[in-house]
Structure 1
Amino acid sequence: MKKPAKAAPAGHAHDHEHCVEDAIAAAEKLCAAKDLRFTPLRRRVLELVWSSHKPVGAYALLDSLRNEDLGSAPPTVYRALDFLIENGLIHRIERMNAFVGCSHPGEVHRGFFLICSECGNAEEIEGDGLSDAISASATRRGFTARDMTLEVTGICGECRGGA
């Protein structure tokens, strides 16, 4: 499966059109393989989430959809978000109550996010060693880890002056 373009640390001047196109193509392929409906609203919500690498809240999505004829009632948009999360196409950033595109749709999700407190960009990173350590610690305590998301806040290289 082709992966959507990943957020670059210097993503401030980044054109997201390519990211959106890759995310839509990956979603179409995943939905076809699982025989799922990729409705116009689900597609549009995914486009809006991928239009930036900054996490976007549900109310901002609702505002964007208000003038579109896709059904912008809160329950409808939340169902679209739930569908996208359940199928590994987006992630929810808990601390911000916001959503960000998944850089590896259809794969095992052990999401780790670097969230810049200056510009708001969120970059999904891989860290299997950390995931394995968390799972091992949980197993030693008789706990089976199912999902894990680590959210790390700080200042990105671009905001620190390209360091």
Structure 2
Amino acid sequence: MSELHTLLAQAEARCLSRGARFTPIRRRVLELIAASSGGLKAYDLLDQLSAEHAAARPPTIYRALAFLTRQGLVHRIESQNAYVACACPEHAHGFQLLICSTCGYVEEIHFDDISQQLAERARRAGFAVQRQTIELIGLCTRCQTLSDTP
């Protein structure tokens, strides 16, 4: 079973267990995002989806993205206003994103202790965290190697 097929099966099972409808459009949006090595912006998704579904409009994409985000199936890359598929939707804790500034590659990592420490500090300061996004921007291994090549 391919990685994409596994991700879609997990997404479908997650939605089913929560009583949420995993419609064909939502599935296709997730599929398009997951097929990308970097983040995809809403209008990039619209361009791809409208080639398949003539009726696709911006609200279609934004509703699908809102649903997928609520279900924990995609993450919003705040610095790029783009979306990336969640590598492990069963992971209920915080996440961090490694983003290559050259090629746009995005990798999700999990250092739960960092997320917990930040949440605890915020709580002690009387702050109620609603969303936590940590993005580390730099160069992926491939781009580092290419930049070292004379």
Same fold (TM over 0.5): yes
Do residues 114 (structure 1) and 98 (structure 2) align?
A: yes
Deviation at 1:152, TM superposition (A): 0.8
Do residues 99 (structure 1) and 83 (structure 2) align?
A: yes
SS in 2 for 1:21: helix
The Cα RMSD (Å) is 1.9
Larger RCO, structure (CA 8 Å, separation 6 or more): 1
Deviation at 1:105, TM superposition (A): 1.0
Distance 1:71 1:108, change over 3 A: farther
Would you identify which runs of 4 or more consecutive aligned residues in structure 1 move more than 2 Å? 144-147
Which is richer in helix? 2
Q: What residue is the counterpart of 1:85 in the other structure?
A: 69
User: Within 2, Cα distance between the matches of 1:103 and 1:34?
Assistant: 19
Structure 1: give runs of 5+ residues left out of the alignment: 1-16
TM-score normalised by the chain length of structure 1? 0.84
TM-score normalised by the chain length of structure 2? 0.90
User: Within 1, Cα distance between the matches of 2:30 and 2:67?
Assistant: 10
Deviation at 1:155, TM superposition (A): 0.5
1:85-125 per-residue CA deviation (whole Å, 9 max, x = no partner) reads 00000000011000000012143241200100011011100
Amino acid at match of 1:75: P
Deviation at 1:129, TM superposition (A): 1.6
Deviation at 1:70, TM superposition (A): 6.8
Q: What residue is the counterpart of 1:65 in the other structure?
A: 49
Contact 1:88 1:109 in 2 (8 A): no
Aligned positions, number: 147
Deviation at 1:72, TM superposition (A): 1.1
Do residues 52 (structure 1) and 36 (structure 2) align?
A: yes
Structure 2: give runs of 5+ residues left out of the alignment: none
> What percent of counterpart residues are identical?
44
